[in-house]
Structure 1
Amino acid sequence: MKRVYLDNAATTPMAASVVTKMMDEMQHNFGNASSTHAFGRAAREVLDDSRHIIAQSINAADDDIIFTSGGTESDNTAIMQTAIARQSLGKHIITTAIEHEAILKPLAELEKQGFEVTYLPVDANGNLSLADFKAALRPDTILVSIMTGNNEVGSHMPIHEIGDLLKDHQAWFHTDAVQAYGLLDIDVERDHIDLLSTSAHKINGPKFLGFLYKRNGVNFPSFVKGGDQEDKRRAGTENVPAIAGFAQAVSELTTEEKAHRQTKYHDFKQYVVDQLTANGVDFEVNGALGTDNLQHVLNIWVKGISTYTLQTNLDLGGVAVSGGSACTAGSLEPSHVLIAMFGEDSPRISESIRLSFGRYTTKDDLDQFVTVLTKTVQRLQK
């Protein structure tokens, strides 16, 4: 039985070129980038070159890129360290109700410490109202953290408009770009972004690696204490081979390639919707099908069948999908994203699945998904 992977929003397989790059660095360039001898200098050169490639991808300065263990550390650092550094200016923070847990859980900790957090609502398509944002913004707001694109339903937040509203405000603007990086055009100067988080394994790079963009002038203490790596901003010996692999993955995501993938995934999404409709499956899309969204994510409500049953039957049929965020997939808790969109009493909460496309997804993969899902629905409804 052919196994089909449609869970690329959770993680992506490493590209062959990334594996080759990392293997070469591991075999021939094993020095510590903090060492001053020739081996260390060679590693430092790879580190600097990789940092430059990655900085260019978001129109940032090289020195504004801090390598981390991934999106969670980057998010936690941006949230917690901003609060520590700026609490004398105010204790109000703005975010949305559909952020990743790597944002929501640190904010919950800050609330216990006396910070006030405004969780902005979203509509049934997962979109944020700028009017709501403007109404929430206060003189004592010190941080705004709003994701670029949602990992469960693909909604694209109005990042440029929010950045423009904040450019003359004291609040720092952080965006979790983990799902959007590599698909959407991100420009930290154009969008007035102060802090930005990403993760390498979402773009066919290695796991346990990401970066935090921190604009020059945005200063807070190091989150990870120890040595003086990353210009004293993040302690720990840099994983040079993985960072080189990350840069290789980034270098392949040109503006043209990102646009191509968005178009390709949009066509995939529409194809799945059309095929399920033609096969008589009773379903609805959670979110919108518009071209402005993250096109690799398709979340659907299959009416009357539980998420667990759908996932199990698809897995038995060789198809891997998700019930929501991979970071909460092992939990019985319902999706906070779908609750924010439809309310906690909606049947969508317990009857929806997420499929997400990637670099290696094919039309045959989609056909297998449609076939297995259709047979599952027909059998269970009968």
Structure 2
Amino acid sequence: MWEVVQVRQGVAYDCDVLVVGGGIVGLSTAHAITRAAPGTRVTVLEKEPGPALHQTGRNSGVIHSGIYYRPGSLKARYAVGGAAEMVKFCAEYGIAHAVTGKLIVATERDELPRLHALVQRGRENGIPVRELGTAQIAEYEPEVRGLAAIHVGTTGVCDFVGVARQLAEASGAEIRYGAQVVRIDRRPERGAAVRTADGDIVRARVLVNCAGLHCDEIARLAGDDPEARIVPFRGEYYGLARPELVRGLVYPVPDPAFPFLGVHLTRGVDGEVHIGPNAVPALAREGYDWGVVRPREAAATVAWPGSWHIARRHWRYGIGELRRSVSRGAFVEAVRRLLPAVTEEDLVPAPAGVRAQAVLRDGTLVDDFLIEQGPRTVHVLNAPSPAATASLPIGREVARRALDVLASV
């Protein structure tokens, strides 16, 4: 039995705020609530046996500078400030991290205008950027080849799983692992009663949805109907058998029509170099390889009109991504644009990740963080990269909204 912490209008509440999702955004939110309003009782429900086992723990570990994002957007504001804050947090708690800087490299002439546009965007976002010619690239990465590049000094890497664990420990929240939400009874006058798969019920005055890959499903369980749906994209990685070929972080110039950054090279805090990811449709929300198929989830993706609009709009891009998924040789071709010395034998399969991409009915890929409120609820409905980088300011924003809702009931 849970301790009853508050009774209002005859309802026994087990907590003031219930957070669904124990990834880095959910744990940052719990941490921010208890810091902003000491004494607020917070419970976090996470369906896995530990924190940060999906998007948080299955990425390249990059602390993004914010150079890619539209000035004034939540992504730009939170990534720029969040990067510095993340470095400070890691240093304070002894979490592995390094500010390495990164290169964004143009390998074709038609990429040069986009590279110059990134320089301008970086300056608009207050990010220091150094422009490099062909010969200067070797100062940073002797094995990398390109026509021109920019160096972004504020980019780094860290152990985001370690950050999530520290947030859980420092939050003072009650963290319940192995607690999968299967039903939500949300009433504006009474709060939310959440049932887990093992039959437990948790009653809260306010529900915060940070469920990542399942956030739209949780929103619908709560009786809210978000305009966006999650369409999962798997990102596949390789490790580099000769990590000495890469000193730091190397990225291609991104395609502005697609919100994925392309195959890039990342030296992590463990000294290993990861190559990837591509972006292919996943057949399950946690479909980390082609063998993981969940018919209900795949059918929901196919049934969403936005998925068909994406396919029509980006089929050429998609064919290239699928080719790199099934052919190591094709993957190597993409890598050689940046790193000519790499061979097929240098690529060692590494764990994949799945990006929770919110998609509107018309096929628009939601480009910014998306946070919506309903009666007694706050839903984080789009928080892909750079959400880990920006998790501390995102957590404060979600906490602010949750506390506003809490104060109004």
Relative to the length of structure 2, the TM-score reads: 0.24
More strand by share: 2
More helix by share: 1
TM-score by length of 1: 0.25
